[in-house]
Amino acid sequence: MHFGKDRIEVDRRLVEVGARVYLMINKPRGVVTTASDEKGRETVYAFLAADLPWLAPVGRLDKASEGLLLLTNDSEWAGKVLAPETHLDKTYHVQIGKVAGQALLDSMLCGVKTPEGHALRAKRARILRSGEKNSWLEVVLDEGKNRQIRRILDYLGVEVLRLVRVSIGPLQLGELAKGDVRPLSSAEMLAVDRVLGGRGSV
């Protein structure tokens, strides 16, 4: 388990601060990221060990999406990962219900405007592979607007069949099985800190 500890003194008396925990989970499809669900659906907390401190998701993946999700009790670190100004790339593999062409990629890169006036666009997009009736795309975002890829493709009239987040900055989902959880390594924490401009959390 990766963790760090702060030494804090109040009136010259040492105050112990709980361990900072940084985890990644391969969130399965159909699982929600809230601590409890009024509809009784399974949450990501069902996959965590009972002896862990309270952890919060770093961002979200909607119920129908799957893949890399981070959890931590370090709110400062989470805030930096999520901050729009860091432009931390998030990479997704997306299966769509049509054969993709360059025109679709260009439309995703140019972006769309929602009825609410929000501009949504992909930073990068490419075709991974295509079959007779569908394609897998790799889509990179550098901002985290709610359901961004689904909303872009919906606006373009394209059905999303699967959406899997495979990386957040230097953190890779890799071979982590669905529903499995592991701590971030010291090397991974250092890599994130370098991208975020250095924080010294390890």
Tell me the CA end-to-end span of the chain in Å, nearest whole number. Answer: 12
Q: Give me the helices (H) in the chain, please.
A: 75-82, 102-110, 148-155, 186-196
Task: In whole angstroms, give the CA distance from residue 143 to residue 120.
Answer: 9
Active-site option among 6, 11, 37, 62: 62
Four-residue CA torsion sign, 75, 34, 140, 84: negative
Integer Cα distance of 138 and 57 in angstroms: 23
Q: Is 62 a catalytic residue?
A: yes
Angle, helices 186-196 vs 75-82, to 10°: value is 50
Dihedral angle sign, alpha carbons of residues 55, 60, 65, 66 = negative
Residue positions annotated with a catalytic role: 62
